[in-house]
């Protein structure tokens, strides 16, 4: 499928390819839909195997950000920036300042912040070239680490799953299989332990697992490939996407899937497969919206209490989605999509109301 065909099929408005010879910057800016407002989405840096892989990631993530913004009540559309490079070796001040210049050419059509492979310090450099960067350190006037509210929102989402399935919000005594101990996963673990959950963990970096198990003797560590086979109440993907697929779903021994990873379903039909197996799925772009809520609030003038209250509302939003799924007998990802699409459609209709200048 050609690029324009793909954009037409999925509703993307704009794709910008950026190259800077001096710094070696290779970046793709994907803007999906700006009906609700300027696109908002993180900037990811990753050593993709091919440029096609980088483009695919940008397009998929931009679309999911539109749905995330709409579902969580933000006045933003969806976008994504990917930098094709190794974050361990290719970062530099000139590279991120070049990125800042390219983002600036779009005049605010997209606002971006940290994602996989990027951190707050990177965008202190980029912000020197254009103002369209968020998630900056607090000492630079930003809202700080978005992983904190993301993890908080995922925990609230797990509590909603527990309420829907077992009639109580507490996770006390529930077993959670946590896949990934990065920025979000490590913070989510703390919430789970405080809530009384039993946790089994894994990570591609074994030293993280060892450190967690040493600090928390009740936590069990397993090899990455074994996490799918763990008997548990909730399976929580908190690393990269595409982990729910034809190979892994039949191995799951859980009642619910609730985690922070983006694009957890390898394909939409895998949401149907979870539904057919009776596994409750908390749609990823709903449960992991805490970071987006934070940076959207930062644009308004960051208020930590307000952002936390908005993130806590993920609990009620998921209960609404689960109720729609049950009533209409559709998978939860379809119920969530319908809510998001309705909000975009209604906002689009408002544009037909003339406002004199």
3-state SS string over the chain?
CCHHHHHHHHCCCEEEEEEECCCCEEEEEEEEECCCCCEECCEEEECCCCHHHHHHHHHHHHHHHHHHHHHCCCCCEEEEEEEECCCCCCCCHHHHHHHHHHHHCCCCCEEECECCCCCHHHHHHHCCCCCCECCCCHHHCCCCCHHHHHHHHHHHHHHHHHHHHHCCCCCCCCEEEEECCCHHHHHHHHHHHHCCCEEEEECCCHHHHHHHHHHCCCCEECCHHHHHHCECCEEEECCCCCCECCCCHHHCECCEECCCCCCCECCCHHHHHHHHCCCEECCHHHHCCHHHHHHHHHHHHCCHHHHHHHHHCHHHHHHHHHHHHHHHCCCHHHHHHHHHHHHHHHHHHHCCCCCCC
Give the pairing of strands 43-46 and 175-179: unpaired
Residue entry with tokens 């970071």: 291
Name the pLDDT band for 138 (thresholds 50, 70, 90): confident
159 CB neighbour count, 10 Å cutoff: 22
Q: Percent of the chain at pLDDT above 70? A: 100
246 CB neighbour count, 10 Å cutoff: 11
Domain spans, the chain: 3-60+78-142, 147-289+316-341
Q: What is the fold, at CATH topology level, of the domain defined by 147-289+316-341?
A: Rossmann fold (3.40.50)
pLDDT digits (tens, 9 = 90+) for 96-110: 999 999 999 999 999
pTM assigned to the model: 0.89
Q: What are the tokens at 14?
A: 């704009």
Q: Known catalytic residues?
A: 80
pLDDT, mean of residues 240-249: 93
Return the CATH number of 3-60+78-142, one of 3.40.50.10860, 3.40.50.620, 3.90.1300.10, 3.40.50.300.
3.40.50.10860
pLDDT at 141: 82
173 CB neighbour count, 10 Å cutoff: 10
pLDDT, mean of residues 56-66: 93
Cα four-point dihedral sign 71, 72, 74, 79: negative
Rounded mean pLDDT of the chain? 95
Query: Does the structure show a pLDDT above 80 at 34?
Result: yes
pLDDT digits (tens, 9 = 90+) for 149-176: 999 999 999 999 999 999 999 999 999 9
Alpha-carbon distances of 72 from 286, 289, 290, 340, rounded to whole Å: 7, 7, 9, 8
Name the pLDDT band for 228 (thresholds 50, 70, 90): very high
Query: Does the structure show a pLDDT above 90 at 144?
Result: no
Maximal CA-CA distance, the chain = 65
pLDDT at 333: 97
pLDDT at 139: 86
Fold agreement between 3-60+78-142 and 147-289+316-341 = yes
pLDDT digits (tens, 9 = 90+) for 274-306: 999 999 999 999 999 999 999 999 998 899 999
pLDDT, mean of residues 322-351: 94
Phi and psi of 217, rounded to 5°?
-55, -25
């Amino acid at each position: 499928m050609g690029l324009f065909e793909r954009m037409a099929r999925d509703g993307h408005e704009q794709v910008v390819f950026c190259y800077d010879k001096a710094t070696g910057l290779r970046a793709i800016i994907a803007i999906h839909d700006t009906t609700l407002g300027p696109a908002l989405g993180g900037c990811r840096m990753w050593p993709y195997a091919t440029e096609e892989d980088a483009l695919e990631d940008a397009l998929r993530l931009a679309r999911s950000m539109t749905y995330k913004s709409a579902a969580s009540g933000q006045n933003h559309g969806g976008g994504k920036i990917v930098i094709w490079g190794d974050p361990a070796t290719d970062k530099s001040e000139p590279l991120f300042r070049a990125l800042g210049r390219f983002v600036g050419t779009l005049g605010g059509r997209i606002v971006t912040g940290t994602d996989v492979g990027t951190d707050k310090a990177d965008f202190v450099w980029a912000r020197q070239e254009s103002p369209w960067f968020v998630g900056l350190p607090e000492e630079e006037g930003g809202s700080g680490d978005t992983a904190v509210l993301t993890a908080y929102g995922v925990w609230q989402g797990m509590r909603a799953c527990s309420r829907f399935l077992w009639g109580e919000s507490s996770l006390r005594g529930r077993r959670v299989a946590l896949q990934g101990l990065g920025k979000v996963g490590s913070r989510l673990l703390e919430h789970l332990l405080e809530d009384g959950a039993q946790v089994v963990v894994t990570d591609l970096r074994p030293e993280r697992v060892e450190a967690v198990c040493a600090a928390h003797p009740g936590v069990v560590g397993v090899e990455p490939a074994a996490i799918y086979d763990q008997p548990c109440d909730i399976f929580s993907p908190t690393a990269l996407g595409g982990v729910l697929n034809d190979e892994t779903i039949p191995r799951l021994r859980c009642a619910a899937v609730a985690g922070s990873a983006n694009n957890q379903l390898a394909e939409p039909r895998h949401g149907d497969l979870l539904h057919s197996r009776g596994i409750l799925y908390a749609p990823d772009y709903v449960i992991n919206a805490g970071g987006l809520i934070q940076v959207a609030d930062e644009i308004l003038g960051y208020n930590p209490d307000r952002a936390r209250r908005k993130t806590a509302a993920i609990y009620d939003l998921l209960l609404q989605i689960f109720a729609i799924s049950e009533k209409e007998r559709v998978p939860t990802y379809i119920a969530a999509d319908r809510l998001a699409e309705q909000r975009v459609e209604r906002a689009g209709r408002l544009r037909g109301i003339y406002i004199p200048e």
